[in-house]
Amino acid sequence: MVYKFVLLAALVVVASAGLLPAAPLAVAKTVAYAQPEEYDPNPQYSYGYDVQDGLTGDAKSQHESRNGDVVQGSYSLVDPDGVKRTVEYTADPVNGFNAVVHREPLAVKTVAAPVAYAAPVGKLAYH
Task: Tell me the β-bridge partners of 105.
Answer: 83
What is the reported pLDDT for 29?
A: 73
- pLDDT of the residue at 33: 79
Distance (Å, whole) CA 87 – CA 101: 5
Residue 94 structural domain = 42-108
Instruction: Split the chain (127 residues) into runs of 10 and give each run's mean pLDDT.
Output: 65 62 64 82 95 89 97 94 95 97 80 58 59
pLDDT on residue 74: 98
Task: Please tell me the total count of domains within the chain.
Answer: 1
- Provide the pLDDT for residue 23: 58
60: nearest Cα among 72, 43, 48, 71: 48
Determine the pLDDT at residue 72. Answer: 98
> In this structure, is residue 55 part of a structural domain?
yes
AA identity, residue 77: L
pLDDT recorded at residue 1: 66
